[in-house]
Structure 1
Amino acid sequence: MDRVIKIDYDALKVDLKKKGYKLTPQRRAIVDTIVDNEGKHLTAEEIYDEVKINCPEIGLATVYRTILLLEEIGIVSRLQLNDGCSRYELVHGDERHRHHHLVCNKCNALIEVEDDLLDELEASIEKQYGFHIVDHSVKFFGICSDCQSKLDE
């Protein structure tokens, strides 16, 4: 299911202003790059490489600072895999929680799971521990179907 991603730049301007920042052309280029590469789970360096194509004057430090700011205001979330890199993806307004991921141990493919199947488990945990859950992050590690079929050959 392909989503049409639209960023409300007016709301982003307001969120940035609350933190004492402006939506500069560099910040907008970074957000546009993340939107244009939706589903690719890019590292900061990969975002920098993409942004630099249309915004050659930008520095890597600006990209890092902007990503941290976007994470702080809830535009992107950080995803840690077993590869030692932080990856970033858009936070979708229609998701109650972050979506889950399947990570292939062979080829490092990253597959998004769109269904949130943990509502019952969350309710049980909240009741048992008196803990209000506001978000969760789930990653399953295994072998993707492509790598499985190569093993069968």
Structure 2
Amino acid sequence: MIYEALRKELRAKRYRMTAQREIVLRVFVNSGGKHLGAEDVYRHLVARKYKISKATVYRSVELLSKLGFLRRLEFG
């Protein structure tokens, strides 16, 4: 599953699979292929009463993108 692949990749790069990183990834996995930005993920999690900072979401998205689990798209 994607979560186990992420755990292995994080360990190989000397990162940890934190609960925050996992929940951010889950939002993308469960998005049904919709294009989401970090702000969208943050709003989604806050609306569902998760205690997570905006900075943590942005850092998690950046790391997941750097490791190839997310693809960064630029519009405009």
Q: Could you say whether these structures have the same fold, taking a TM-score greater than 0.5 normalized by the shorter chain as the test?
A: yes
Q: CA RMSD in A?
A: 1.5
Q: How far apart, CA to CA, are the structure 2 residues paired with 1:34 and 1:8?
A: 11
Q: Normalising by structure 1, what TM-score?
A: 0.46
The match for 1:52 is 46
Identity of aligned residues (%): 37
- The answer to whether the 8 Å contact 1:29/1:55 transfers is no
If asked which structure has higher relative contact order (CA below 8 Å, sep 6+), I would say 2
The match for 2:63 is 69
Count of aligned positions: 76
Please list every run of 5 or more consecutive structure 1 residues that lacks an aligned counterpart in the other structure. 1-6, 83-153
Please list every run of 5 or more consecutive structure 2 residues that lacks an aligned counterpart in the other structure. none
Q: How far apart, CA to CA, are the structure 2 residues paired with 1:10 and 1:34?
A: 15
The match for 2:22 is 28
Q: How far apart, CA to CA, are the structure 1 residues paired with 2:72 and 2:65?
A: 7
Which letter maps to 1:13? R
- Tell me how far 1:54 sits from its aligned partner: 3.9
Q: Normalising by structure 2, what TM-score?
A: 0.87
Q: How far apart, CA to CA, are the structure 2 residues paired with 1:63 and 1:55?
A: 14
Q: Which has the higher strand share?
A: 1
The match for 1:37 is 31
- Tell me how far 1:52 sits from its aligned partner: 2.3
Q: Which has the higher helix share?
A: 2
